Chains A and B, each alone.
Chain A
């Protein structure tokens, strides 16, 4: 059973409906006692980094996740949820993140190295390029996924499973151990996204047995 963490930061409905269509068992909760019952977690998120961290701290969800990560329970962060997995972000000043993965979050500069301006946010469908083998992409062959973000993760190449190119390399799927992150919205990325969620469901199922 996957516990979707509700901390008032985003679109839980679409994620939950996607899991429903895939027949992956889940529940949504903000209650730590309830979340304790899950075997794996999804941390969604849309909004600003500092607000999200503040809510996670105040509700005790950060401490709870720390324990679950220590126990090696699978955790998937989506969009802002992925960014929160890293050490810090410069969105509205420096804020500490959950620090489960090495790296920082910074704003797209909006200018290429040649000084040409480009648009921020990175919004729309971009192609995934696989960088390392990982069980999460077992069902993935090729395709585009839907991104909407103004901040981008800078991390060690060892954790990057797939990236996209938007005037720079954009880490799109990250993973280390049981910690997963997707910068794009799998629940809004057609069949490609649905397959990635399906694979996460599969990983959770196999781990439980």
Chain B
């Protein structure tokens, strides 16, 4: 049967890996290819590169990073950030990425999901959802522009809509849990799992090995993503997989 995936995330800015806490205060954490090789060695099942470059030059560099990674190691990876057109997707996929992740562009024009799924197939279209709890409405709202702008969508409704439009996978980030290291947002994951039937990558909040296991066993996630916990070697992918396996999960 299918195994649960552990996915290190590399935030890339102008060709270098950085990591922000709650989308703020960036800190340089290294070279993308070097980190990719390191995680591949450790048993990463997949990688996500999030391009947070602000400049046009930075966007050009990501294509070289993708080529370098695809040319050097044999694991699947997703590239997100700055994907606004069919042409953007084509460039990234042709450079050797397996999937692209879209966020703001999909919310600004939901039909973009449909069009890209038709051209490239649903399997390579990941829709990233940045969700933040709203105590007044008692649900999670979706944010765009790296968490700066609130939209009118609830996370659960948007997840359902993204699937309907042809997304092949969802990357669900809890903005409340991101950087807090208290664990993934299980209620959010469960709420989304109940309405969709495509794979979900849990993101935001990993602080210990057992958090991953919880995301799988309680949050019903298919994969779990983390950055700083791996970058700063607070735990290893091996240790995470050991815990998942111990508690009845399947890993590679």
Q: List residues of chain A with CB under 8 Å of any chain B CB.
A: 10-11, 13-14, 17-18, 20, 46-48, 110, 117-127, 144, 146, 148-150, 165-166, 185, 187-191, 193-194
Contact = CB atoms under 8 A, between A and B. Distances in A.
A123 B75 contact: no
Interface stretch (B22-30, B66-74, B225-233): B66-74
30 contacts: A11-B98, A13-B67, A13-B71, A13-B94, A13-B96, A14-B74, A17-B72, A48-B121, A119-B197, A119-B198, A119-B199, A120-B198, A121-B168, A121-B199, A123-B168, A123-B169, A124-B2, A124-B222, A126-B2, A146-B76, A148-B123, A148-B124, A148-B168, A150-B123, A166-B1, A187-B74, A188-B74, A188-B76, A193-B74, A194-B74
Given A121-B123, A124-B199, A146-B75, A13 B95 contact: yes
Contacts, number: 101
A191 to B, nearest CB: 8
Contacts of A121: 122-123, 168-169, 198-199
Shortest beta-carbon contacts, A-B, top 10? A13-B96, A17-B71, A125-B252, A148-B123, A144-B252, A188-B76, A14-B96, A125-B3, A47-B121, A14-B70
A166 B96 contact: no
Contacts of B124: 46, 148
A126 B3 contact: yes
B120 A124 contact: no
B147 to A, nearest CB: 26
Interface residues of B, number: 35
A117 B198 CA distance: 11
B123 A123 contact: yes
A105 to B, nearest CB: 14
Contacts of B95: 13
